[in-house]
Structure 1
Amino acid sequence: MHQIRLAIILFASIVLASCGENKKPANGETSQSATTETKADSSSKKIALFFGDSITAGYGLDDPSEAFPGVIKNKIDSLKLPYKVINAGLSGETTAGGNGRIDWLLKQKFDVFILELGANDGLRGIPATETTKNLQSIIDKVKAKYPQAKIVLLGMQVPPNMGADYTNKFKAVFPALAAKNNIPLVPFLLQGVGGVPELNQGDGIHPTAKGAKIVAENVWKILEGVL
């Protein structure tokens, strides 16, 4: 049995050696250099993490890559910018839920943090003060864990049927937080998409793939300078 095992190992070694010879370039050092370079490129890439709700997650789209973070990823790749995009969107997420979930996500080191939460708070009529408190807590946790990370806040608005008083208070949450924390702000994530039937799915809330491309452009106007 021992001799059989030795024979098998020897045969496998010969096969592997043959494969290596077939793929070996004329200059033996070229392959090693290319491998080292590839590893270096991968390790040198920074992380851009999108943290949000169903709009970030791509709810209702045929493929999650059609969501606005995926569209931005394609743009980053086409421009050969040294960033890897991580989509941490979760459908149905509120700012309170995000405040709890961020503790787990902080285990993943990142360089740019794009915060997209609040829409579900608005649709549920959660007091603007609570939304502010939760978003500030998320920002504080990110700053404490990764003080060098850049944060971008994506602003949201609610439909006028929520009442003028609530609508105005909710809208004011995002610019106030951006100013307080000195971070870039996308004034309204759904600019040019919200309320446009052909750019939204049947629920009138979530963007279609075409709408997501416009959302991505809204974000890119601010994010490009950050990256």
Structure 2
Amino acid sequence: MNQYIWLKFLSKKLQAILMASSLFCLFIPFGTKAQTNPVILVMGDSLSAEYGLTRGTGWVKLLEDQLHKEASPWTVFNASISGETSSGGLSRLPKLLEQRKPGIVLLELGANDALRGLSIQESNRNLRKMIQLSKSSGAKVLLFGMQIPPNYGQDYTKQFQELYPKLARQEQVELVPFFLKNVASDINLFQADRMHPNEKAQAIVFKNVWGAMAPYQALLK
């Protein structure tokens, strides 16, 4: 190979290298822009699914508004379904974790278990598994404490109330001590069915949740 041919070969080689480098650089900003915002996944029942409320007036929307107000990059995906039980939530959770890849999971389930007379042991197993699956995916968890009226029997009512703080302590996750604090005792804050909080109650419910999210405030920036 004479000197002219060799130089021509090197020139083509150099052009190919420079072109490949340029294409690589073009893909770097594209990859950065394609990243999605971190997600808060809400797993709840009718209390989080805006049952009986005008769309966009529930506590989950108030959470979204608060994040927007603080210019937080986090978004909220509300996977709550009216009538949902802990077993139903558990069956749906793996796919949601895979699809949404949340950084935080808000777990508001169990009340319908009690209304249907399911055993405390079953609720405990389902909620524990949901917490463990969420943690294994890399998500932080906020468990919502629930309570039921005393007409379900003193023992059952007490065991149900103690279920949530015990789970939070054992699984080392954050807890909303009582989701309906300052709401449950005021009949004026409920819809006609006397089971679901009305629109006026949503700001109070949101305050309960937001206060319990204090350990995650730095993460939400």
* TM-score w.r.t. length of structure 2: 0.80
Q: Distance in 2 between matches of 1:50 and 1:175?
A: 19
Stretch of structure 1 that moved more, 131-140 or 99-108: 99-108
Deviation at 1:127, TM superposition (A): 1.3
Aligned equivalents of 2:150, 2:57: Cα separation in 1: 28
Q: Which residue of 1 aligns with 2:43?
A: 51
* 1:150 to 2:150 alignment: no
For residue 77 of structure 2, the aligned residue among 79, 86, 103 is 86
Q: Quick check: 1:212 aligned with 2:202?
A: yes
The 5 A counterparts of 1:184-223 are 184-223=174-213
Instruction: Please tell me whether the aligned partners of residues 195 and 204 of structure 1 are also in contact (alpha carbons under 8 angstroms).
Output: no
CA apart distance, 1:225? 2.9
Counterpart mapping for 1:11-22 below 5 A:
none
What residue number does 2:87 align with? 96
Counterpart of 1:188, as a letter, is F
Instruction: Look up the equivalent residue of 2:86 and give its one-letter code.
Output: T
Structure 2 matches for 1:159-170, cutoff 5 A?
A: 159-170=149-160
Cα separation, 2, equivalents of 1:44 and 1:88: 18
Kindly indicate which of the two structures has a greater share of residues assigned to helix: 1
Q: Which amino acid aligns with 1:87?
A: N
Three-state SS of the structure 1 residue aligned to 2:41 is: strand
In the alignment, structure 1 residue 71 sits paired with structure 2 residue 62: yes
Contact 2:134/2:140 (<8 A) preserved: no
Specify which of 211, 216, 220 is matched with residue 226 of structure 1.
Answer: 216
AA matched with 1:117: L
Please give the root-mean-square deviation of Cα atoms over the aligned residues, in Å: 1.7
Secondary structure of the structure 2 residue equivalent to 1:191: coil
| Deviation string, structure 1 residues 162-195 (Cα, Å, up to 9, x no partner) | 1111000000110011001111100100011113
Q: Write out per-residue CA displacement over residues 142-171 of structure 1, whole angstroms, 9 at most, x where no aligned residue.
A: 222x12x11110100001111111000000
Q: Distance in 1 between matches of 2:92 and 2:36?
A: 27
Which of 110, 115, 134 in structure 2 is aligned with 1:123? 115
Return the alpha-carbon distance in structure 2 between the equivalents of residues 125 and 189 of structure 1.
Answer: 20
Distance 1:172 1:206 in 2: 22
Aligned letter for 1:129? Q
What CA distance in whole angstroms lies between the structure 1 residues aligned with 2:62 and 2:164? 24
Structure 2 residue runs without a partner (length 5+) = 1-28
- SS of 1:115's partner is strand
- Structure (1 or 2) with the larger CA radius of gyration: 2
| 2:104 aligns with one of 100, 107, 112 | 112
Gaps of 5+ in 1: 1-35
Q: Is the 8 A contact 1:44 1:82 kept in 2?
A: no
In the TM superposition, residue 44 of structure 1 has moved relative to its aligned partner by 5.8
1:202 deviation in Å?
0.8
Secondary structure in 2 matching 1:86: strand
* Secondary structure in 2 matching 1:55: coil
Whole-angstrom CA distance in 2 between matches of 1:93 and 1:213: 23
Amino acid at match of 2:38: K
